[in-house]
Amino acid sequence: MSLNTTFDSQKKLKTETSKTNQTPAAKLSFKEQQELKALDEALALSEKEIKNLTEELNKIEASDYSKIQDISSKIDRINEKIENDMARWIELSEK
């Protein structure tokens, strides 16, 4: 066996070994990539909506209890949606 053949074999073995030692990065499916993108957009929209509702809530007179309660309920629902979306976003981004 020639020196070049031995060197090439060792080089090939080293390359194969280094490939197997690397943890393969799990890739998201196309559907998951689309879902992650949609979640990014939904989260940004929800945060903007909460900001707008909070500004509206700050402008309401304290005596208008029903309107305060209505807007507060909307903010709570959006916060729950954000929590759910964030949990799913984290799940996908950790893949």
| pTM across the whole model | 0.66
Predicted confidence at residue 48, as pLDDT, reads 97
Q: Which of 7-11, 36-40, 56-60, 69-73 has the lowest mean pLDDT?
A: 7-11
**For residues 28-51, average pLDDT:** 95
Question: What letter does residue 94 receive in the DSSP assignment?
Answer: T
**For residues 17-39, average pLDDT:** 71
**For residues 10-19, average pLDDT:** 48
Tens of pLDDT, residue by residue over 52-78, are 999 999 999 989 999 999 999 999 999
Q: Which residues contact 89 (CB under 8 A, 6 or more apart)?
A: 36, 39, 40, 43
